[in-house]
Structure 1
């Protein structure tokens, strides 16, 4: 196996690389080139597979459905028996139930009462829904034009044919996927092992919940938002608490994190002007770069590798401001962790919404503003900014239901102009 490229080698491959004014897109490209994928594969029961990433394609061992069957409760018939210019009357030869196939012959001019999912009797190719038919004794009358030959019949293998790929490797399994796997008779599936992510906050001013707040101190909120965002990704989480800005404590925390996790996330200690213990220990234990991203909020970012002996982990050093932590996580860390998990690319969805007010924006950086998306009078999406956009105002992220993305080259936005919005549903 070839050695992983150095950070310097990766930087040389990124056009326009400037660590002091790095555009968001270039930072994302760099990180995508940096992060490795987990290698170990394990087999898990499908009830334990929700959110896990498939390591191999799942190929259907059967046709789904296994037989032609009815898509409706009604009457199965030959399409050729339908009259073209008037009602059709047929004799009911019997009943076909789901799991109890009608086995007898069905002569021309006859039909079979059938239930949804029941196997189509031999020779019959059409189902008329029962609400369109009139039953009188053993005869049923069907008005002209309510069905065409072939209607309401599910074909054998229509959903999946034997030997066809049902789910592709790299897919994060959803509830619908679990049902699909069950429909194929699969009890277990091969998945990449869970990614292990350690995280901690740095700063002497931080206190954990339950501790008294001394003058100038604040409760550590970042660990809880990071914990929640990691839970949504389905990784194994290692919460290492608050680490004081003291060299020995920081070194011990970084070494323990690198020894036990695939990725390490820190919040605080990477901004210009902060105590430099955190940055110094990061560089001491690995190959780490300190970027100034052309974005707001979230300008400072540390990225690289740290190690404890031979065990190495990817490092994401996020800023300390609460909103900046969340924005940088979704701008950079989320996709990187998904890539490490073996997942196929899953870009964050964006919708277009009309800004209810004018927005000031200078070209040359990407801005993420907290917004509230609603339906306008015309039924289209509109978005209003939550108010002050300071990176320490965590309540604005709680009030908002989306992030307005003002792209790198974009300038001022006029009221009524459309902007891109990342909806929060399912994210935060």
Structure 2
């Protein structure tokens, strides 16, 4: 069950509890039909968790009225081939506006209205949003991606867009708000990609690209092309992944700042190596190394770029060598990555630790690979999902394939069985 972060973001944005939303919707049902609604917090919980993917028609109507958005925009998914019945149309005659989507609770976050009654949105509002973006980036680095983080990112993106509608703002402020909306949506995109939720990720990607274009930010577009490349790679659409990664290297920011060029080139090398052709991959990796050497690491950059340092470049290089079958080189880079990785980057430590175990396993170092993977295993009753969960599955499959009757393989199978029992 993947959940519905779009609806969760709207509810969080409105400052509502699940039972409060149910009560508001029941009142709308009574206004609409003359009969008291019977929704409870359980209905709302089922919507948010994804257990109910397409509510009943009357429920959809009042949800759309409450949030000023269609059911699809709220993250609900109609059954295959399902279209709205004509009988639903009279219930949808009310006009939904952006203002209707902003709740009274959310209004407290908007800038105060001056005495003349008009509203003015300024850099102070944008600065507050950017501080929240920094907090989200830190949460990603420290705790890893989750649906909750995706929801928070979408909530802030919506707030950035709401600020555009409350009154006057200069062109410079509006561009920055579009940039921040793109940044938050890009974080939601990354959360969905890391969780391997392709459908949600694709929706976030389209919205983020549109917002980055309106912001006129080649830096944000470069970030998004990198996420687009990984998304296509996960879906095994390798030509699309290659085109997206190459598009990232062509952004103006890569000509302006060698650190961005280094990151974009390393990502391109990763996709090229997945295609199995070592020459262009190693050439792109060389470009990444040279660009990194030229970059001024003390220069101030966007908060999301803080992760890209020598440890991360070594990690991306390790992935390239691993995909090319150069497992000894991959292992050497991974050791350097883990030695240099900053303590707060716990998610990356798990990710690269599991890759190190896979590299050692590929070289036949069963004992060492098993010792490497053990500290990264989830606690009993827990499970890894997304990219890290996929790596753990690869390790188990590789262990079974390499030495199915070994002591380590038997112990691994027993441990996996115990984990299933605790779920």
Query: If the TM-score is normalised by the length of the shorter chain, which range does it land in?
Result: under 0.3
Greater strand share, 1 or 2? Answer: 1
Normalising by structure 1, we get a TM-score of 0.22
Normalising by structure 2, we get a TM-score of 0.22
Work out which of the two has the higher radius of gyration on C-alpha atoms and give 1 or 2.
Answer: 1
Greater helix share, 1 or 2? Answer: 2
